[in-house]
């Protein structure tokens, strides 16, 4: 990948030559320069939250949770006490494995400043202490249908209008939970609630700038003070425990062994509303291990994460047409690399350039061989459905990156700097409906907000790169319910 330092030609001081700089063999780029470019990208890509921004983030989050509480009260379909998983980054950033071809294009800086993904359980199966067996007879690997026979009559009665119905020869009727019908119901319910909220606007309430249904995802952009926040809300089915189809994965050695416990990794999984290439959209769900990935992320070195973020920024732009490769594929490759390579090598702080080049090589290898195994279910090839023409087109594009990684890094840096400039310009112009600053009115009424902002800022500072899980009771949206890993705040 990179040329080692040249040895000195001769032992005598007068005959010695200075070592060559470390070079990337393929492109001739200096590894030191690539490291500096990755550091510069990271500096501009990471956002720091002051107290005002922290308060705006909390205001948006509370608005979304209050809205979901009202959705629950419309027809009591959602669980009364629900547990959401809040992830940093939108669906387009690859935080969950959902197809991107049905999503409208949103750009940071132009459409939003910060993005989140919120997994909202429509159904929960949380009382099982053994491997969960799903109905995969009709589905591709990593996918499943979900029969409501697993639930009580009350649940079936609530949700039967969001099911496809299959009548058996013996006269029994089976209701299969439909991801498309659930998403339609969810979008309609959210629209009704937002319409009611906007009839009685309150001081300091976020401005709903956009509500769109993107396939089976509901995307909401809120304007809060000087910030615009994108929430990709995903209706899911939540399970405690571990799926039987992924049981063999637990028998293998992994990079996280000894760093976190198996109980943390296998605490739960989801079905997300995504179909396989040839599956039936109305019935088929995709297995998601987002909760486990939050835990695994804690074991990945900062230099590898920096390389991953930089590589992701490059491929999102370069491989967007036709949409075949998503950032989730790159995330899977990174996890496989963590299993394959020594931990002390991946922990090197000044190896970000090596990791970036390696990720590009890995992605190109996967494309050429049309093979990208799912990390948790390796027998599932996530690139199997692609045509030869598509994979070779993307492989050739990646070849251009590999030939000049420094130039593509500079382009990624310019894009993120441009997005930041757009954000700052909109903040200066005050284009978003403002909420009062914690310092604007004075008086004791603002002190709880100050304390809350400081608390949120503290959580963000002390948990860099971590996703925050939030427990909320829709009948009590007045209290914050932050949860980082298994700790509540």
Supply the CATH number for residue 178's domain: 3.30.460.90
Residue 421 CB-density burial (10 A; 0-12 exposed, 13-18 middle, 19+ buried): exposed
pLDDT score of 81: 83
Closest by CA position to 68, among listed 477, 489, 481: 477
Asked, for residue 462, whether it belongs to a domain, the answer is no
Asked, for residue 369, whether it belongs to a domain, the answer is yes
Asked, for residue 434, whether it belongs to a domain, the answer is no
To which residue do tokens 């996890």 refer? Answer: 335
Structure tokens at 297: 């992320």
Domain, as residue range, for 172: 31-425
pLDDT score of 473: 43
Asked, for residue 25, whether it belongs to a domain, the answer is no
465: left (phi over 0), alpha (psi -120 to 50) or beta: left
The residue ranges of the chain whose pLDDT is under 50 are: 4-13, 431-451, 470-480, 484-489
Are 338 and 300 in contact by the 8 Å Cβ rule? The answer is: yes
| pTM, rounded to two decimals | 0.84
Using CA atoms, how far apart are residues 362 and 381, in angstroms rounded to an integer?
15
Q: State the total domains in the chain.
A: 1
Structure tokens at 153: 């009559």
pLDDT score of 433: 42
Asked, for residue 466, whether it belongs to a domain, the answer is no
Please write the tens of the pLDDT for every residue from 179-210: 999 999 999 999 999 999 988 888 889 999 99
Listed in sequence order, the residues at least 6 apart from 210 whose beta carbon sits closer than 8 Å to its beta carbon are 111, 219, 220, 221
Asked, for residue 10, whether it belongs to a domain, the answer is no
Asked, for residue 4, whether it belongs to a domain, the answer is no
- How many residues belong to the chain? 489
Asked, for residue 8, whether it belongs to a domain, the answer is no
pLDDT score of 434: 40
Cβ contacts of 396-403, under 8 Å, gap ≥ 24? 397/318, 397/319, 398/315, 398/318, 398/319, 398/360, 398/363, 398/364, 398/367, 399/364, 401/314, 401/318, 401/360, 402/26, 402/27, 402/357, 402/360, 402/361, 402/364, 403/26, 403/27
Residue 138's φ and ψ, nearest 5 degrees, are -100, 5
């Amino acid at each position: 990948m990179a040329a080692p330092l040249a040895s000195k030609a001769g032992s005598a001081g007068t005959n010695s030559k200075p070592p060559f700089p470390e070079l990337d063999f393929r492109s001739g780029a200096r590894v030191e320069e690539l490291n500096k470019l990755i550091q510069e990208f990271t500096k501009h890509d990471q956002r720091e939250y002051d107290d005002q921004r922290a308060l705006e983030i909390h205001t948006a989050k509370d608005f979304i949770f209050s809205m979901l509480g009202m959705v629950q009260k419309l027809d009591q379909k959602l669980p009364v006490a629900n547990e959401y998983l809040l992830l940093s980054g939108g669906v387009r950033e690859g935080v969950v494995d959902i197809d991107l071809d049905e999503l409208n294009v949103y750009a940071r800086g132009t459409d939003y400043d910060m993005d989140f993904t919120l997994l909202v359980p429509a159904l929960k199966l949380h009382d099982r202490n053994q491997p969960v067996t799903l109905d995969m007879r009709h589905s591709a690997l990593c996918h499943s249908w979900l029969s409501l026979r697993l639930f009580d009559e009350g649940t079936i009665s609530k949700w039967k209008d969001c099911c496809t119905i299959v009548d058996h020869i013996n006269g029994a009727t089976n209701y299969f939970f439909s991801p498309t019908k659930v998403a339609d119901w969810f979008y309609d319910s959210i629209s009704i609630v937002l319409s009611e909220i906007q009839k009685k606007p309150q001081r300091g309430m976020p401005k709903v700038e956009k509500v769109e249904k993107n396939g089976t995802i509901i995307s909401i952009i809120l304007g809060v003070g000087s910030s615009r926040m994108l929430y990709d809300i995903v209706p899911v089915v939540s399970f405690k425990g571990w799926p039987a189809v992924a049981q063999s994965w637990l028998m293998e050695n992994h990079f996280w062994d000894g760093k976190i416990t198996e109980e943390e990794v296998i605490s739960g999984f989801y079905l997300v509303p995504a179909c396989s290439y040839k599956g039936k959209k109305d019935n088929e769900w995709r297995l998601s291990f987002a909760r486990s990935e939050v835990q695994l992320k804690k074991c990945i070195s900062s230099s590898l994460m920096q390389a991953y973020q930089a590589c992701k920024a490059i491929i999102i732009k370069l491989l967007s047409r036709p949409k075949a490769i998503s950032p989730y594929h790159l995330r899977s490759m990174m996890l496989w690399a963590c299993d394959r390579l020594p931990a002390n090598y991946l922990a090197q702080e000044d190896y970000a350039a090596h990791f970036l080049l390696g990720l590009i090589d890995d992605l190109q290898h996967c494309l050429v061989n049309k093979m990208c195994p799912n990390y948790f279910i390796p027998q599932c090839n996530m690139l199997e459905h692609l045509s030869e023409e598509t994979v070779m087109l993307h492989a050739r594009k990646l070849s251009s990156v590999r030939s000049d990684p420094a130039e593509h890094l500079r382009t990624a840096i310019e894009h993120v700097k441009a997005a930041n400039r757009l954000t700052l310009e909109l903040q200066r112009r005050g284009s978003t409906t403002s909420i009062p600053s914690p310092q604007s009115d004075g008086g004791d009424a603002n002190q709880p907000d100050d304390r809350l902002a400081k608390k949120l800022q503290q959580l963000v500072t002390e948990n860099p790169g971590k996703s925050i899980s939030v427990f909320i009771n829709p009948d009590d949206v007045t209290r914050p319910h932050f949860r980082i890993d298994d700790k509540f705040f």
